[in-house]
């Protein structure tokens, strides 16, 4: 019985030590070498790590650094298991770790809050989910699908992080807002391609009178995602099943749920004018970012319904 008690005590102490270590992120630890990362990945049932070509990249918004990226894919069909781990090695040591999961899980997110001691203000705010502890800057999305951590103290010691720890949080927040903004650009470009294909499928007629733009819409799925419980729209919203969206966006999951989309159309043939808009309040702080693309009938296309590549305009993309 005493032996069992001692073993149990050792396990609890080890677990507590692991939980209290801010540099340990899942099965990995900031500062690991490539060999240690491979061993940790194998022990966790992940695929053999692949090393990508060294590149210069912005590490969580702290500056452009020369990194050696390592990618490990999860082999488990369990969505609660790690689907992918991304690590950046700086000077041979892991300076950045990102864990990505196949599902969303708020309990998992809350577990990260507890394990890495996120301030209560962060947990209550649920907007800027970036905090620091023990020289590590953490970030999680509000739905628990990913966790990011950067070794700010280690980079600072090597003169690679040129901002204060508090400043690093502000910079990292901007970095992740930029990622959300990029999703809007990808979504709008997808919509642009769908509209262009739909327009090209029409019969032009003798004077291009058959080349007509899709009907104008209201903001879809709604005016703002900030009044939603999860601060984002549902891909299952009935608005996507209405015309012309039902013809243009077969899979609404292709559209970033943080944004609302609008089509404004006029004219036909050579006078066709189409404006596509993505707008959203990324932080739900009253500051709206807007992305637009203007499309016209392509010059020289006198016998086909073809749109040009479009002109893009971004207004406060990181607000």
Closest to 146 in 3D by CA, of 86, 76, 88, 236: 86
27-47 b/e (C-beta count within 10 Å ≥ 16 → b):
bbbbebebeebbebbeebebe
> Is residue 167 in a domain?
no
| C-alpha span between 96 and 30 (Å, rounded) | 7
Radius of gyration of the chain (CA): 24
What's the pLDDT at 311?
94
| For the chain, percent of residues with pLDDT exceeding 90 | 56
Encoding tokens for residue 69? 């990226």
187 with 270, same domain: the answer is yes
Structure letter (DSSP) for residue 147:
E
154 with 195, same domain: the answer is no
> Is residue 231 in a domain?
yes
> Is residue 95 in a domain?
yes
pTM of the model: 0.70
Could you give the C-alpha distances from 211 to 192, 201, 302, in angstroms and in order?
Answer: 16, 9, 10
Could you give the C-alpha distances from 198 to 37, 203, 278, in angstroms and in order?
Answer: 48, 11, 19
88 with 151, same domain: the answer is yes
196 with 138, same domain: the answer is no
290 with 227, same domain: the answer is yes
Query: Mean pLDDT, the chain, as a whole number?
Result: 87
> Is residue 10 in a domain?
no
Range of the domain at 205: 180-315
CB of 97 within 8 A of CB of 149?
A: yes
What's the pLDDT at 17?
43
Helix (H) or strand (E) holding 276: strand 273-280
> Is residue 301 in a domain?
yes
**Structural domain tally of the chain?**
2
Q: For residue range 262-309, what is the model confidence (pLDDT) as tens digits?
A: 999 999 999 999 999 999 987 777 888 899 999 999 998 888 999 999
């Amino acid at each position: 019985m005493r032996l069992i008690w001692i073993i149990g005590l050792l396990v609890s102490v080890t677990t507590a030590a692991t939980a209290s270590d801010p540099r340990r992120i899942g099965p990995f630890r900031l500062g690991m070498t490539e060999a240690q990362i491979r061993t940790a990945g194998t022990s966790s049932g992940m695929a053999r790590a692949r090393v990508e070509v060294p590149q210069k990249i912005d590490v969580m918004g702290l500056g452009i650094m020369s990194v050696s990226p390592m990618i490990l894919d999860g082999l488990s069909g369990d969505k609660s298991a790690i689907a992918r781990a991304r690590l950046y090695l700086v000077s041979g040591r892991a300076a950045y770790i990102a864990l990505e999961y196949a599902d969303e899980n708020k309990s998992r997110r809350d577990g990260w809050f507890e394990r890495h001691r996120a301030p209560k203000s962060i947990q209550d705010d649920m907007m800027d989910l970036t905090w620091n502890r023990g020289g590590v800057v953490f970030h999680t999305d509000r739905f628990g699908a990913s966790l990011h951590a950067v070794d700010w103290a280690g980079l600072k010691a090597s003169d690679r992080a040129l901002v204060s720890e508090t400043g690093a949080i502000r910079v990292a927040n901007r970095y992740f807002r930029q990622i959300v903004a990029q999703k809007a650009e990808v979504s709008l470009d997808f919509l642009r391609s769908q509209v262009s294909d739909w327009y090209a499928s029409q019969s032009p007629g003798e004077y291009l009178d058959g080349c007509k733009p899709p009907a104008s819409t209201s903001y879809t799925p709604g005016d703002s995602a900030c009044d939603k419980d999860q601060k984002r729209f549902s891909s299952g919203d009935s608005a996507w099943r209405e015309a012309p969206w039902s013809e243009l966006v077969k899979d609404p999951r292709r559209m970033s749920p943080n944004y609302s989309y609008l089509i404004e159309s006029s004219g036909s043939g050579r006078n066709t004018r189409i404006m596509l808009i993505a707008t959203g309040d990324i932080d739900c702080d009253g500051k709206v970012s807007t992305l637009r693309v203007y499309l016209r009938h392509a010059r020289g296309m006198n016998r086909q319904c073809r749109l040009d590549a479009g002109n893009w305009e971004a207004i406060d993309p990181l607000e």
